[in-house]
Structure 1
Amino acid sequence: MESREDTADRLRDRDPIRTPVPAYLPTAHSPLMVDKALYSSIQKARRVLVEEFVLPIRSGRAWKAPAGSIVRISTPEGPQVGDLNIWNVHNPRERFWASRTRQLHATHVSTYDRLWSCLPYMRPLVTIIADSLAWYGEDEHGGRVHDLLGTRCDPYINAVLSGGQYDFHCHSNLTRAVLPFGLAESDIHDVINIFQVTGLDAEGRYFMNPCPANSEDYLEFLAEQDVLFGLSTCPGGDLSLWGFGAASEKEMVKTCRPLKVEVFRLADSDFLQRSGWQPARCSPYQGKHGMIVVDGEPEMPV
């Protein structure tokens, strides 16, 4: 067995110019390979507003969006981070899988990336079709926007780190938001932190930088199936004064702003059908897991 020292020497001797190859590469006709021309045409097609609302600071709300609809989340008053959960509206066991999405696309996502559901469904819930912050790229600290590295803030870790009993972390906001839809705290899952800039420092530690959004910024999604969204306006606001504890919470409220949600349908109801777009399909894996021996003799045909 190779020792640690031998492994370290071998890694140091590697060609330093060699670029690592991503583990999951999109190929032609792969679900990872989005038809950019098609999705661009969907994004530009004439649309009709179906629902809109403004989400106040430090609150949460959930809403439905049918397959083929467009959801826009924007920052109408300037920088504000949002924590987003997504479920299949008919079966909430199918929900957003942040870690697999991170593997399939990147730690930070943008236009033409998809947000994937968990096993055994393994299909896109939504596709990002517009991102006004795509220009941000990578900042001087290695930070990028629309984070899949971290997860929601929650009252449990707050109590561990500060001893506080604060009820309006994103986990709590999302818990309240989904109650009218028959969901509970156990249905809240790892989020995509939209409009949030994060990264890993030289020692691999998670960091957060202030949100770069202004009053004209937005993120748009195409629903690839019938979905339920849950969104929290993070109590950390724009993250310029992030911290735990009562003092931090009182200061951070000064950096908090609302988020706006708009749901659209395409004006041409046949546009998607003519274009060849179809709602996402579940993974074709049959789910046998090698368990082919039954308990007892199978019934023989007569």
Structure 2
Amino acid sequence: MTPDAAPEEPADADRRRAVRPVICYPVQTLPDPRLDQIQPLRAGAAKIAEITVPPREGRCFRASAGDFFRISSVLGPQVGDLNIWSAANPAERFYSGKTRALHGSHLTTGDRLWSVFPDLRPMATITADTLGWYGIDEFGGSVHDVIGTRCDPYTHRLLSGGDYHHCCHSNLTNALAAELGIEPRAAEPLVHDVLNVFMCTGFTRDTGEYFMKASPVRPGDYIEFYAEIDLIGGLSACPGGDCGAEHSSDAAACYPLLVEVFRPAQPPVGRVAPAPNAYRWPGSAASSD
């Protein structure tokens, strides 16, 4: 077979394609987020902070364990790239790949944002989502994805040959640097793959390519989270606007995003912050073997 020739289909190709899939991570044993325990607390919670993220920029915010934080569309359709870090140790940060493996390619109410190894614990739980009605459309698209990375100046340079400084990676890096009082080069390794808030994405049926389409978000829509541990959040108002046309653009219509933090009057009874994962390397001092 020459290098450019299509591979010959085997006689049993249909049988091979018909093999049933196996779910990689059965989640029946995951800890229950107990929405029935935390959602009622929201009704009596008082707003303690509010941050507006300007178009094509990024900002950080903080939420203590037990707080709720809401991200809202306020003036026009806009997507946002969300990072979260442990306030106690920013090296513990959101693990979008493992979150995707546990909950699927797009998140909604009841799903959790998990942290990187070795902690692997829930950092935040989604408690409300006004776009939960969207589901999966005829193209395979859905909202709030954990499959995209984040627009960044390096890929932009690779594909276009030009420099663009308002990519979400850059916005999150600058925001975290300002929050921690460090240089952007020191903050950059802590910036990570995101939850693409309000973004509508999927994979094409024929070629498997990652696509985006105009977000269905409109002013008044929001997604809300319960902070399971003390958190620093970083949010970029993507320079792609509603991402219906292009990434990293000064031409796309862009709008601010609103972040609000709410604190319940009372903590949930009997609820404690999730402990870091209990796995230990064999032979380590803390190993149970």
TM-score, L = length of structure 1? 0.84
Shift of 1:163: 1.5
% same residue: 44
Change (3 A) 1:60 1:281: same
C-alpha distance in 2 between matches for 1:103 and 1:61: 28
Change (3 A) 1:36 1:26: farther
Q: Deviations over 1:221-277 (max 9, x none)?
A: 100101110110000011122156xxxx2321xx2010000001002x2x41x2x22
C-alpha distance in 1 between matches for 2:211 and 2:94: 23
Alignment of 1:241-252 (within 5 A): 241-243=245-247, 249-252=249-252
Shift of 1:62: 0.8
C-alpha distance in 2 between matches for 1:88 and 1:212: 31
Q: Does 1:126 align with 2:129?
A: no
Aligned to 1:218: 222
Alignment of 1:3-152 (within 5 A): 12-13=14-15, 16=18, 20-27=21-28, 30-31=30-31, 33-43=32-42, 45-152=43-150
Q: Deviations over 1:19-64 (max 9, x none)?
A: 5342222225x32x33232233234x31011100211100111111
Comparing 161-170 and 114-123, the one that deviates more:
161-170
Q: Does 1:280 align with 2:281?
A: no
Change (3 A) 1:223 1:8: farther
**1:241–1:251 contact (8 Å) kept in structure 2:** no
Aligned to 1:263: 261
Could you tell me which runs of 5 or more consecutive residues in structure 2 were left unpaired when the two chains were aligned: 1-6
Alignment of 1:139-178 (within 5 A): 139-178=137-176
Change (3 A) 1:14 1:88: same
Shift of 1:6: 11
Change (3 A) 1:225 1:8: farther
TM-score, L = length of structure 2? 0.88
C-alpha distance in 2 between matches for 1:73 and 1:279: 22
Shift of 1:11: 5.9
Q: Which amino acid aligns with 1:64?
A: R
Q: Which amino acid aligns with 1:238?
A: D
Aligned to 1:295: none
Q: Deviations over 1:53-96 (max 9, x none)?
A: 21110011111111110000000112101001111111111111
More helix by share: 1
Aligned to 1:205: 209
Cα RMSD (Å): 2.2
C-alpha distance in 2 between matches for 1:188 and 1:95: 8
Could you tell me which runs of 5 or more consecutive residues in structure 1 were left unpaired when the two chains were aligned: 293-302
* Larger gyration radius, structure 1 or structure 2: 1
Aligned to 2:3: none
Shift of 1:151: 1.0
